[in-house]
Amino acid sequence: MYFVYILECADGSLYTGITTDVQRRFFEHQAGKGGHYTRAHKVIRVRYIEQQNDRGSAQTREAEIKKLPKRKKLALISTLKIP
């Protein structure tokens, strides 16, 4: 099982990625062990999580979300409440 996730960065930007363990990956990003983008933009919190059945589906969905303008990503985020 895979998850597509959106992180909020300190500068207000959003980062989208995939993983099998969102919590572990979030902490990796916070520790500077994530991608180049999240090392340059401090990660604040997870804003969105979407479950996918397999890696291929997760990668396809990640690409779809990355193509969205920020306003549509924010609308997507508003559909899911994460404590």
Question: Residue 72: which region, alpha, beta or left (left: phi > 0; alpha: psi -120 to 50)?
Answer: alpha
Low-confidence ranges of the chain (pLDDT < 70): 81-83
The pLDDT assigned to 35 comes to 81
Cα 79 from chain centroid (whole Å): 15
Alpha helix stretches (DSSP H) within 19-82: 22-30, 36-40, 55-67, 70-77
pTM of the full structure: 0.92
pLDDT reported for residue 80: 74
The topology under which CATH files domain 2-77 is GIY-YIG endonuclease (3.40.1440)
